[in-house]
Amino acid sequence: MSGSTNPPEVSILIVARNTAPFIGSALASARAQSVADVEVLVVDDGSTDGTADIVRWHAAQDVRVRLIAGSCKGLSAVRNLSLDACRGRFAAILDSDDILHPRHVERLLAAQRAHGDEICAANMVEFQGDGKGLRAGLFADGKAWRAERRIGLDEFLAGSMFGSRAVSPGYLKPLFDMAFMRRHGLRYDERLRIGEDFDLVLRAMLAGARYRFLPAPGYYYRRHAASTSHRLSPLDLEGLLMALDAVAAAAGAAGEAAPLLSARRDNLAGALAHLEVIAALKGRQWRRALHITAGNPVSRRLTLTSLREAAAKRIGLDFSRLASSPWLRGEEGQGALRQIMAALQAPMHPPADLSIPAASPSPPHSTTTPPRSRPA
């Protein structure tokens, strides 16, 4: 048990900022894991809505829950604090507004022990709604995603392309072998505002990590206004391009990953051009928009997709994966819905009349980590 002086087998890492409506469900699902030898480490990054109070309440109920103060320097910096403070042999990522299947960690550990992969990730269920009604769908659906298998670098990168309909394994929340991560100096790139999870896994794979996919969904991803409202900005894409250029330089121009990384770069550049097209259309600069799309097939495809989706919304059509999911009609889908509903309806917040301990969060963990072996 992580309440002892012995390191836990798994650290469940959560970073949070103003997620009081959701973090109780996340914490309860983490505490309810069938593997008891875990710690639940929460880094609160300056929340002002009572998030830290909810974590303290859970910590008072369960010695495995730890609260650490964040640095308020951005998501990647906060995630690095959680990596620094992680005491487990393995680290499982849980976003503060999501929920875990009770056997999520157990299944990931079993796969890791059976095959030795440095990264293991389970399929996800995307859901939207509350304890009274839900819409949900399987994230990685289709024949190719019904069996446990290893994901290669080519498939990992192909799924990451903007405008692609392929499933992106980069969105899955992995279990990391922390010995491997530390040996290679792998940390989140603090220059990135988005795509930091994908970037970390990509660099791990380039360093030799093997990525195993488990088809049984063990992670429940919540879609809500805050999680879906982020729009890409030119600054975001420029950051992704800068990070990718550093990764490509470290990998070497002659490596077998070079053409894959080059294709990813072309895609990111096309997405950046797409934003220029949208800005031109909003400014009624028709010729400029046509000029950009004429010379960039990626931006042209993304722009046509955006226009089609905008038109569909105006007439009330819903093309999202949550609109209709055949998977939900099966026994597995119905079971997942029951688990999500139970998690949402359970009392996981401090009672209104409960006196919450006023102790401040622990200071940021001071453990140093090895220097990076490759640029982020």
Q: Of 132-146, 159-173, 350-364, give the range with the top mean pLDDT.
A: 159-173
Summarize the confidence of residues 342-349 as an average pLDDT.
Answer: 66
Q: Give yes or no for residue 373 having a pLDDT over 50.
A: no
pLDDT band at residue 338 using 50, 70 and 90 as cut-offs:
confident
As a whole number, mean pLDDT of residues 74-79 equals 92
Predicted confidence (pLDDT) at residue 166 exceeds the cutoff of 80: yes
Q: What is the pLDDT of residue 132?
A: 63
Domain assignment of residue 373, yes or no:
no
The DSSP letter of residue 215 is E
Q: For residues 238 and 274, state if they share a domain.
A: yes
pLDDT of residue 355 exceeding 50, the answer is no
Residue 262 lies in a domain: yes
- pLDDT band at 304; cut points 50, 70, 90: confident
Judge whether 96 and 22 are in contact, CB under 8 Å.
yes
Q: Tell me what pLDDT residue 365 has.
A: 38
Predicted confidence at residue 340, as pLDDT, reads 79
pLDDT at residue number 31:
96
State the sign of the Cα–Cα–Cα–Cα dihedral 269, 246, 173, 148: positive
H or E segment and range at residue 54? helix 51-61
Q: Identify the pLDDT of residue 353.
A: 42
Please determine, for residue 255, whether its predicted confidence score (pLDDT) is greater than 50: yes
Least confident of 231-235, 247-251, 340-344: 340-344
At 165 the pLDDT is: 85
370 in any annotated domain: no
Asked if the structure places residue 131 within a domain, the reply is yes
Summarize pLDDT for 205-240 with one digit per residue, the tens.
999 999 999 999 999 999 877 664 456 789 999 999
Q: How far apart are CA 107 and CA 173, in angstroms?
A: 13
- pLDDT band of 361, cuts 50, 70, 90: very low
Looking at residue 100, what is its pLDDT? Answer: 96
**Do 137 and 216 fall into the same domain?**
yes
Mean pLDDT of 111-138: 88
Name the token pair of 73: 């320097």
The reply to whether 53 and 146 lie within a common domain is yes
The span from the CA of 147 to the CA of 267, in Å, is 29
Residue 298 belongs to domain spanning: 234-314
Give how many domains the chain has, as a whole number.
Answer: 2
Same-domain check for residues 260 and 329 = no
CATH number where 165 lies = 3.90.550.10
- The pLDDT score that the predictor gives to residue 316 is 56
Residues 24 and 73 in one domain: yes
Are 195 and 256 within one domain?
Answer: no
For the segment 157-164, the average pLDDT, to the nearest whole number, is: 90
pTM of the model: 0.84
* Same domain as 153, residue 270: no
Query: Given 314, 332, 355, which residue is the final one in a domain?
Result: 314
Q: Return the closest-CA partner of residue 26 out of 12, 39, 36.
A: 12
**108: which DSSP letter?**
H
Per residue in 101-116, pLDDT (tens digit) is: 999 999 999 999 999 9
How far is residue 31's CA from residue 46's CA, in Å, rounded to a whole number? 23
**Distance of CA 39 to CAs 54, 217, 370, Å?**
17, 22, 23
- Residue (of 246, 95, 81) closest to 174 by Cα position: 95
Query: Based on the domain organization, do 84 and 156 belong to the same domain?
Result: yes
Q: In this structure, are 194 and 45 located in the same domain?
A: yes
Q: pLDDT, tens digit, for every residue of 80-109?
A: 999 999 999 999 999 999 999 999 999 999
In a domain, 371, yes or no: no
Confidence of residue 370 (pLDDT cuts 50, 70, 90): very low
Are both 266 and 283 inside the same structural domain? Answer: yes
Q: List the structure tokens of 361.
A: 């969060």
**Do residues 80 and 170 both lie within one domain?**
yes
110 with 247, same domain: the answer is: no
Least confident of 2-11, 50-59, 159-168: 2-11
* Structural domain includes residue 209: yes
Give the distance, in angstroms, between the CA of residue 272 and the centroid of all CA atoms in the same chain: 22
Q: Which of 314, 334, 366 is the last residue of a domain?
A: 314
